[in-house]
Structure 1
Amino acid sequence: MAKPALLPTTLAAALVAAFLAPAASAALPANGTASWCYSHLFTFGDSLIDTGNFIHYSTAPGPVARSPYGETFFHRPTGRWSDGRLIVDFIVERLGFPHWPPYLAGKSKDDFRHGANFAVASGTALNQLLFKKKHLNVAQITPYSLGVQIGWFKKVLAVLASTEQERKVIMAKSLFIVGEFGGNDYLHPLFQNKTLEWVRPLVPRVVRSIARSVEALIELGATTVYVPGLFPVGCVPRLLFLLRDDVSGGGCGGERDPATGCLRGFNEGLAVPHNRLLGDMLAQLRAAHPGVTIAYADYYGEVLRLVSAPALGGFDAGAGDSLRACCGGGGLYNANFTVLCTEPGAVQCADPSKYLWWDGLHMTEAAYRIMARGILHGPFADPPILSRCNG
């Protein structure tokens, strides 16, 4: 399978464009917000955009409830799996909305006046029951899968609007972001010693689940839906640490890409097919719903470009630094599983803004800022989210 590639000049131009995208557009209202473009923002996903749902239901939320999580922007743990803001936070700010509470923290209609975030850490596209049937330990897999999150949204919609006409108006004026999904569907089994060959057959089921959820939103009246693809899972520091001794591949995906240091099998044999199939299914949905904007957000391309050329984003560019976690348990990639970021003995970098990866699984605020710009302004989403604000 061919390795996704860009010419160096194209790579540099795309990265610089995302990194240097303007903080405000001349086409926006005088108050500097874009809230007139979308009345609400509704998001579904996992820990990449979970702003606190996990810690509101979990009796043992673990490291995310302790420092140094949240230190960069909020200066305290908020339930975000990063040192600061997430992609969704930058989008919320750019649209002129306040940092609304996560769904499980909402108490009234007023809490959802700008939308809601239904994402839950460890969230999957497939439901927990499927993993149980496959004899996996589901202790680390939330029961709040994509299907459950769609159910939560329907409850919020009923709270916000009492008539069908009111609901249609809200749906038509709202922005929906469905994902990223798939990462946990694949990583949970891999972290339980399943092989790449075991995981690959899940791809069509995962993508179908995402497509069904997008179609469910469209049937409710959604007109603007963004669906991020899978990031390059082969670049995840914890997975790299897990397979640190598998240098030959051996059918397990351990072969390193000489250009990035990432695991080629997991990128080219898992993430790329996932994204290709997702793109095909979204194309089918576009054909079936010509009046609806269904846009693909290229998380794979964004993250791979940052890994390939970290200096262009302002990150440390030393050998292996783009794959090293800022806060972790030491060892190769600073991604030793046995010591978590918040525990005694953890190794923390001096400046998270110079690192792509925060704790070996999640990224830093600095990385999320660039990713958010890439889908707000382009070039990693077509059309960019803010394109609706320029008319």
Structure 2
Amino acid sequence: MKICILFSLTFAYGFLGNGFSNANPLPYDAIFNFGDSISDTGNAATYNPTMPSNSPYGSTYFNHPSGRMSNGRLIIDFIAEAYGLPMLPPYLNLTKGQDITQGVNFAYAGSTALDKDFFMQQMLELDAASYSLSTQLEWFKKLKPSLCKSEECDSYFKNTLFIVGEIGGNDINAIIPYKNMSALREMVPLIVEAITNAITKLIEEGAVELVVPGNFPIGCNSAVLARVGSDKKEDYDQFGCLAAYNAFIEYYNGQIKKAIETLRQKNPHVNGVGACRSARPRYILSR
């Protein structure tokens, strides 16, 4: 089993090297994606049509807001294109009779790896946590009978790519203003367990090709910099990022990688795609 965990500031799903144009990707017939705003192609916008609804959303490609948290396409759009597949339709916007055999997107902007109950216990109200990773899996299981009959599913999923993430970033971002680094580290096993449970359930449903992107270097995130910025110059790296928070993400990604290694040993029949990147965040700009 080769489940890859990928890390890159520019292409979190950068398993095709220097770009998709020169790639010779494996022949997948469908893609099913789970995640948050990094890959949501319209689920959150379906439930909340006013978000995002004005320029510059969609301005560089669709010429109108497309339900993506972007002015153009997302990484998942380029992945689908690389495999000769259409852009993944959002699950919550599917219509009766629509052809979904080439894939569906379950990602929901703002969603979390942990369920809403966890955040309620922390006295935090996160509406998007209602569409957490476990909810997205339930959507997939509900849709599965429309994709294949039981005797056909093995062959269908053999040529299907499942992408799980990036997910977990919103869990961390929600807690950062209220917790110290030790408390953040205590969250990691919970998030890792939620992600590995999701992967396990997908394998039980028939998935054999999975990619698990890692999280971004949050120490460079403008929201994090604004919330927990420091007056001490030594707290920042050469790129102006909070070094301790990027070190935390290295730890977080490393824990996910360890958990996936355990899954690999338990599920030798499952395959992955491409080459894994280093757990150290990669920067493309320097002063």
Cα distance in 2 for partners of 1:83, 1:67 equals 8
Task: Indicate whether 1:247 and 2:231 are aligned.
Answer: yes
Aligned pair in 2 of structure 1 residues 58, 215: CA closer, same or farther (>3 Å)? same
Cα distance in 2 for partners of 1:183, 1:88 equals 17
Cα distance in 2 for partners of 1:142, 1:74 equals 28
Counterpart residue number, 2:157:
171
Counterpart residue number, 1:154:
141
- Residue pair 1:125, 1:209 contacting (<8 A) in 2 also: yes
Counterpart residue number, 1:70:
58
Q: How does 1:312-331 map to 2 (within 5 A)?
A: 319=287
Counterpart residue number, 2:108:
120
Aligned pair in 2 of structure 1 residues 108, 281: CA closer, same or farther (>3 Å)? same
Q: How does 1:40-59 map to 2 (within 5 A)?
A: 40-58=30-48
Q: Secondary structure at the match of 1:281?
A: helix
- Residue pair 1:147, 1:213 contacting (<8 A) in 2 also: yes
**Deviations, residues 113-166 of structure 1 (Å, cap 9, x unaligned):** 211000000111100111001111224x331000010111112211112x3111
Q: Secondary structure at the match of 2:104?
A: strand
Task: Indicate whether 1:291 and 2:269 are aligned.
Answer: yes
Counterpart residue number, 1:221:
206
Aligned pair in 2 of structure 1 residues 168, 19: CA closer, same or farther (>3 Å)? closer
TM-score w.r.t. the length of structure 2 is 0.87
RMSD: 2.4
- Residue pair 1:228, 1:298 contacting (<8 A) in 2 also: no
Counterpart residue number, 2:4:
none
Cα distance in 1 for partners of 2:170, 2:132 equals 10
- Residue pair 1:232, 1:267 contacting (<8 A) in 2 also: yes
Q: State how many pairs are aligned.
A: 272
Aligned pair in 2 of structure 1 residues 116, 18: CA closer, same or farther (>3 Å)? closer
- Residue pair 1:69, 1:82 contacting (<8 A) in 2 also: yes
Cα distance in 1 for partners of 2:93, 2:142 equals 14
- Residue pair 1:128, 1:142 contacting (<8 A) in 2 also: yes
- Residue pair 2:35, 2:165 contacting (<8 A) in 1 also: yes
Cα distance in 2 for partners of 1:82, 1:300 equals 26
- Residue pair 2:114, 2:190 contacting (<8 A) in 1 also: yes
- Residue pair 2:29, 2:85 contacting (<8 A) in 1 also: no
* Structure 1 residue 91 displacement after superposition: 0.3
Q: Partner letter of residue 245 of structure 2?
A: F
Counterpart residue number, 1:262:
241
Structure 2 alignment gaps of length 5 or more: 1-14
TM-score w.r.t. the length of structure 1 is 0.65
* Structure 1 residue 200 displacement after superposition: 2.1
Task: Indicate whether 1:232 and 2:239 are aligned.
Answer: no
- Residue pair 2:30, 2:102 contacting (<8 A) in 1 also: yes
- Residue pair 2:77, 2:88 contacting (<8 A) in 1 also: no
* Structure 1 residue 183 displacement after superposition: 0.5
- Residue pair 1:211, 1:282 contacting (<8 A) in 2 also: yes
Q: How does 1:129-208 map to 2 (within 5 A)?
A: 129-139=117-127, 141-161=128-148, 163-191=149-177, 193-208=178-193
Q: Partner letter of residue 72 of structure 1?
A: T
**Deviations, residues 242-273 of structure 1 (Å, cap 9, x unaligned):** 233x2339xxxx9212x2221111111x2111
Q: Partner letter of residue 39 of structure 1?
A: D
- Residue pair 1:112, 1:156 contacting (<8 A) in 2 also: no
* Structure 1 residue 230 displacement after superposition: 1.2
Cα distance in 2 for partners of 1:113, 1:47 equals 23
* Bigger relative contact order (CA 8 A; separation at least 6): 2
Cα distance in 1 for partners of 2:195, 2:59 equals 33
Structure 1 alignment gaps of length 5 or more: 1-16, 28-33, 311-316, 320-391
- Give the percent of matched residue pairs that are identical in Structure 1 and Structure 2: 35
Q: Partner letter of residue 40 of structure 1?
A: A
Match of residue 97, structure 1, among 85, 92, 108 = 85
- Residue pair 1:230, 1:299 contacting (<8 A) in 2 also: no
- Residue pair 1:101, 1:111 contacting (<8 A) in 2 also: no
Cα distance in 2 for partners of 1:125, 1:224 equals 20
Counterpart residue number, 1:10:
none
Cα distance in 2 for partners of 1:152, 1:18 equals 29
Match of residue 21, structure 2, among 20, 23, 26 = 23
Q: Partner letter of residue 58 of structure 1?
A: N
Aligned pair in 2 of structure 1 residues 183, 300: CA closer, same or farther (>3 Å)? farther
